[in-house]
Amino acid sequence: MNEDINKGKKEGEKPARIVTKQFPVTGMSCASCAANIQNRLSRQPGILNASVNLATESVSVEFDQSVVEPQDLKDAVTSIGYDLIIDESENAKEELENLQLLRYRSMKSRTVWSVILATPLVLISMVFMNMPYAPFIMWALATPIVFWFGRSFFINASKQILHGAASMDTLVSLSTGIAYLFSVFNTLFPSFWHNRGLHAHVYFEASGVVIALVLLGKFLEERAKANTSSAIKNLMGLQPMTVFKVLPSGEIREFLISKVKQGDIILVRPGEKVPVDGKVNEGSSFVDESMITGEPVAVLKEGGSKVFAGTVNQKGTFQFVAEKVGNETLLSSIIQYVKEAQGSRAPVQKLADRIAGIFVPVVVVISLITLAIWSVSGAENGKVQGLLSMITVLVIACPCALGLATPTAIMVGIGKGAEKNILIRDAESLELACRMDTLILDKTGTLTEGKPSVERIEWRSPGDKAGLEKVLAGLERLSEHPLAEAVVKYFEHYNSDIKFENVKSITGKGIEGFYNGRKYFAGGSRLIEENQISIVPELARLANQWEDEAKTVVFFADEKETLAVLSVFDRLRETSSGAVQRIRELGVDVRMLTGDNAKTAAAIAKKSGIANFEAMMLPSAKASYVEALQKEKKIVGMVGDGINDSQALAKADISIAMGKGSDIAIDAAKMTIISNDLSVIPDAIKLSRLTVRTIRQNLFWAFIYNIIGIPIAAGILYPLNGFLLNPMIAGAAMALSSVSVVSNSLRLKYSK
């Protein structure tokens, strides 16, 4: 989501126009590519921050629009051999998808043909090397592999070298190019070596097979990476492509969803998906909202009910007025959040990024040292073996696995979270959640349902109920007090048309009004006491009992005596106590902060199984409480839903908002529980731990692969047992390392 931030300015200066935008990047092949692009952009004037994600093939750039434009960013990236897609129109998105599809098909085709041609190369080199004209046949087979199917490696490497950059393409082009040219020389001038008592070896199979294996690895990697982003595709699939609009004439016509505007009347028939957000104005039906709420039971939608894009209509038919369309729908917001989160970078990735940035130049130096040592070693065919070892070092050292270790796990983890109704805004939160040791819960709207409801009503006598329910309902309809809504909802079956006179709302106390010459009151105990209204012992006893249970009591009375008492209570969510127990079992200390009174707080804390709680907390006090815990070196999580929680959410290490809470709370939080169900929080903690464990496994494999592989490729084992690594085997190992890292990340998709 693009975000404009107006910075403070000196007098007479224009405010800086700082925006953060995400752009697709094409042409990347490894972590070094990502590092090159990031370094190039970071050096551009007006760019505050640039973050490139290899797995999502995107870059997030924070820049000053008054200094630099998207076209400047594109020019900078293009200059080093890559491309930046800056067009954000729908047509551009379609073109990008088509481009990605064409690239995938091209890679598949190049891979297949490379493998087909590489197969006889291997056979000839291993079995039929003594056949007539074998070197020339191998030359003919290797040439199209190297210069046609593998041409992108050489093109990209040359562009990057011109700008002082290096990447995997540099390693591949150097290794295969040297092997190819060396083999061509030996094929044309074998006497050069024969005259020196040496055999004129050719290594066409090394150049051809290495490129074939690298292409195969990249192809498999692309397939695997496509699976990591399946969460996005699944979310996008929830929105229908077309809608049925009801025109002013009453005619019903089908339109593309892009043609829907605010205020349009949309028809939804049985079994269809709701296309955009809106409000029902005609008809009724049950709608499956499990993608938002997580609840399997369909919800009744009738006049005035809100409906959301992606939810599924059941058997009824209804019409609704479109209120939020395009990128404004709840579904679009979720998709955008997931995209941004998958493109974000985890702190653990910083080490990998630093290494990737210097990795290629270091490997090139190591390969040259390897050549030099072999050349002066005195070993038989030392120079030839040195050349071969240099090529092997260049091939095996590809940093692809290093670059994919973190982002692929993050992508899958965030996608898995979305499936579980956990909307994760950035990678840092996902990583940090595994270390959380203290979780603070708000009460109202978090532990509780957030909507007070009438639990019970007791009348002075049964005769009062029959005659006065309409009066009570009609009087409360005129009240602006939040508790009045609960009473009105309780009596919603009454369509009361009672006319009151001299209605007076008394702030903090209740409401009074005249009906048929009789004065009625509805409100708290203070209203009853100040008007000296009597109450029968049984109703007084019930009122005291309910207050002791932390319930709010509403009195309904006339001028003489109390006619009824109502118990109003913000119920504990059914899943709250179970969720608290599961969180505690994960080793997290659970606490509660609330602005409510101590008695109510104690009652809710007891029912939830929370020992530590604080009541009468102002928003600033909640934030201070979080800060105090952080000073004790605790990793603090905060869960809230209201504006009053936003300060504490912003201060917390891990901030979690309830999906149906205030927009301010959701904006302040790094995670959002779409379903409003606290039971997904332990799932989020488990997911974080699994993701971080997967990242560590990936990084371990990526590091250990290079630590072990490069020395072996250089020939460190040769003095011990005469073992030298073949470049073809090195190419296969390099491809396997990338695929293994991505595959390990994909295991997260199937975790419970």
Catalytic residues: 442
Residue 305 CB neighbours (<10 A): 17
Three-state secondary structure readout of 399-441: CHHHHHHHHHHHHHHHHHHHHCCEEECCHHHHHHHHHCCEEEE
Closest CA to 154 of 108, 216, 109, 211: 211
DSSP character at residue 263: T
DSSP character at residue 448: B
Q: How far is Cα of residue 591 from the mean position of the Cα atoms in its chain?
A: 27
Judge whether 739 and 224 are in contact, CB under 8 Å: yes
Q: Where are the beta strands (DSSP E) in 58-137?
A: 58-64, 83-84
DSSP character at residue 560: S
Q: Compute the distance between CA of residue 230 and CA of residue 325 in angstroms, rounded to an integer.
A: 24
Structure tokens, 368: 């040259």
Place of tokens 């009570």: 472
Q: Which amino acid is at 330?
A: L
| Burial class for 9, CB neighbours closer than 10 Å (0-12, 13-18, 19+) | exposed
Place of tokens 């094929």: 187
* Spatial strand order in the sheet of 562-569: 453-459, 562-569, 552-558, 518-523, 510-515, 501-506
Place of tokens 């047509």: 91
Backbone angles phi, psi at 565, to 5 degrees: -125, 140
Judge whether 81 and 159 are in contact, CB under 8 Å: yes
* Dihedral Cα 659, 660, 661, 667, nearest 10 deg: 40
For residue 508, the number of C-alpha atoms closer than 13 Å in the C-beta half-sphere is 2
| Burial class for 268, CB neighbours closer than 10 Å (0-12, 13-18, 19+) | buried
> What are the CA-CA distances from residue 427 to residues 34, 342, 410, 608, 688 (Å)?
17, 7, 6, 30, 10
Judge whether 555 and 528 are in contact, CB under 8 Å: yes
Structure tokens, 263: 């205020």
Q: Compute the distance between CA of residue 227 and CA of residue 743 in angstroms, rounded to an integer.
A: 10
Place of tokens 């090159």: 36
